[in-house]
A and B are shown apart, each in its own frame.
Chain A
Amino acid sequence: MTPSLDPQEFSERAQETGLEISVEDATELGSFSEAVEATYAAIREIDTTGFEPAAIFVPTPSKRESE
């Protein structure tokens, strides 16, 4: 799913994930939404085959606390 530019749809989809934004606020996003669209469009053009995400969980060594 890409960021939606339709305010009604934008508001409904956000609320599906627990993020509250009114249709009025979504209507006023305007150029901000366009910048978001352009950002992820530019990223989608990149062939990332063979690359894992930069943020990978690394466990921290630990032991039971001594009594």
Chain B
Amino acid sequence: MAIQQSDLTYKSVAELAPLIKSGKLSPVELVQTSLDRISQLEPQLNAFLEVWDEAAVESAKVARDEIAAGRYLGAMHGIPVGIKDLIDVAGTRTTGGSKVLAENMAHSDATVVTKLKASGAVLMGKLNLVEFAFGTTGLNPHTADVKNPWDNARITAGSSSGSGAAVASGMIPTALGTDTGGSIRMPAALCGIAGLKPTYGRVSRAGVLDLSWSMDHVGPMTRTTEDCALLMNVLAGYDPNDPASSKEPLQDFTSDLNRGLDGLRIGIPSHYFFDDFVDQEIKHSVRAAIDLLVANGAEIVELSMPWVGKGRPINFGVILPESVSIHEKMIAENADLYSPAVRKRIQSGFNVSAIEYVRAQRARQWFNHQMEESMKQVDVLITPSIPIQTPTIADCTPSPGNPGAGSELPMFTGVFDVTGQPSHSIPCGFTQNGMPIGMMITGHPFDESTVLRVGHAYEKLTNWHQRPPTDIPAPN
């Protein structure tokens, strides 16, 4: 019996891959389902900047024929993937969501795109984002604002806003995002999906527009933790074209998923992440999630981390001068093509002195030392992903004299861009007004497997990640 299109819309890669491998589901059918869902929801959500429908169908036909000929390449073969428009795909434009790079044609693939193509994944198009990824709300005046599928009046957060909305709404099962202060994990949290910021250096940045060389990460955004693991098996690995790429041994990121929680030590910071400024409903949901993990075998360790609030200032203190350096030529030549908010954000760093930058880099080393000492006691940390409830688009839209709300969004995520630790956001509940709440699981550097193990164990105990968004139509 044929599989209904509507039954495919919210399926995970882990569910789709066996169907494709066995021939029960054609990649062409899956891609067409994805294209139909995109047509149904765009431009309501503004998640996509470009949809490559013809190329996607052609790629799906190639995948179908390869699989039929016995050349199945693995779990991503025939799976639709969306690409944040900060990442080069040869022969297409990489605009960074800007007017400055509106006609910037990519002549080669980013390393992560090369890897996706080699895995047989089907590239569906370019996803909306914050201009040059320099912002947290997800809003972009050049490209139309991305709407949250759970409440179209609210933000998705960003900068990987299109990636968050597209995966959450069932347009595509997987997307690539980038994360410099939280741009994978923030939209994952507010859209109710899974998003993994891998260890710094684990996934190549080659062919990805820079925001801050020493903070930029590339990673997966998916419906489930297991799908993040499957995508990491494709994306991770040393790349000589990325100066920061790591030669640390690779692992099968799915290998520990089902090891359960017995013996795991989970660190709960007693400072900052659960302080009074954090929304009560968010704290309650994350505490309840921790209780559930403890009831299923994990052990809790309260960690005193009075220094941890310095993480976000260090994060921004490094990002700002690096972004000024990256943008100085473009902004000198095309200042008028930048949106006022992003131009001012960059220009505000024009007088940061060399000593301030060096102080920030020394402070980063100091901060990482403190974190290493704390992490000696535990396998992972668990915290809220975001301290506030999802703001409205109206509240976050800048106006003259008002930069807009949202500066609190990266207070937690930015901490782990400083340390480069793997950090993963998954849904752990909903607020009373029906918006998803994100829980962040953060591990030791290069130990994505344990982070994913905890996330997967939690998802097996709950169904938050399986609920469909409420402010979009059901699949046809």
Residue B476 interfacial (CB < 8 Å):
no
Residue in chain A with minimal CB distance to B407: A35
- Assuming the contacts A43-B310, A46-B310, A55-B214, asked whether A36 and B349 have C-beta atoms less than 8 A apart, the reply is yes
Interface string of B352-363 (1 = CB under 8 A from A): 110110111111
**CB under 8 Å from chain A, chain B span 176-216:** 214
Q: Does B4 contact A (CB under 8 A)?
A: no
B272-320: which residues lie under 8 A (CB-CB) from chain A? Answer: 310, 313-314, 316-318, 320
B interface residues, how many (CB within 8 angstroms): 41
Which chain B residues (320-377) contact chain A, with CB distance < 8 Å? 320, 324, 328, 332, 335, 340, 343-345, 347-353, 355-356, 358-369
A2-B353, A19-B324, A55-B361 known; A29 and B348 CB under 8 Å?
A: yes
Name the residue on A nearest B351 (C-beta).
Answer: A3
| A1-B365 contact, Cβ under 8 Å, with A35-B407, A40-B317 | no
- Closest CB of chain B to A8's CB: distance in Å? 12
Q: Which residues of B contact A33 (CB under 8 A)?
A: 348
Contact between B358 and A53, CB atoms less than 8 A apart: yes
Interface status of B260 (Cβ within 8 A of chain A): no
Residues of A within 8 A of B403 (CB): 30-32
Asked if B401 is at the interface (CB within 8 A of a chain A CB), the reply is yes
Contact in complex: B349, A54 (CB < 8 Å): no
A interface: dominant SS: loop
Q: Report the Cα distance A55→B126, complex, angstroms.
A: 32
Binary contact track A22-50/B, C-beta < 8 Å → 1, others 0:
00011011111101101110111111100
When distances are taken between beta carbons in the complex, the residues of chain B under 8 Å from A18 are 328
CB-based nearest B residue for A9: B351
Question: Contact: B214 with A54, CB < 8 Å?
Answer: yes
Q: What is the bound-complex CA distance between A35 and B411, given in angstroms?
A: 13
User: Do A19 and B348 form a contact, CB below 8 Å, given A48-B366, A51-B362?
Assistant: no
Which residues of B approach A to under 8 Å, CB–CB? 214, 310, 313-314, 316-318, 320, 324, 328, 332, 335, 340, 343-345, 347-353, 355-356, 358-369, 400-401, 403, 407
Given contacts A3-B352, A29-B348, list 18 more A-B pairs with CB under 8 A: A1-B351, A10-B350, A10-B351, A14-B351, A19-B332, A21-B350, A25-B344, A28-B340, A32-B344, A32-B348, A32-B403, A35-B407, A43-B317, A43-B359, A48-B366, A54-B364, A54-B365, A55-B214
**Interface residues, chain A, CB within 8 Å of chain B?**
1-4, 10, 13-14, 17-21, 25-26, 28-33, 35-36, 38-40, 42-48, 51-55
A-B contact pairs, 21 of them (CB 8 A): A2-B353, A3-B351, A10-B350, A32-B403, A35-B316, A36-B320, A36-B348, A36-B352, A38-B313, A40-B313, A40-B360, A42-B313, A43-B314, A43-B360, A46-B367, A51-B363, A52-B365, A53-B365, A54-B361, A54-B362, A55-B214
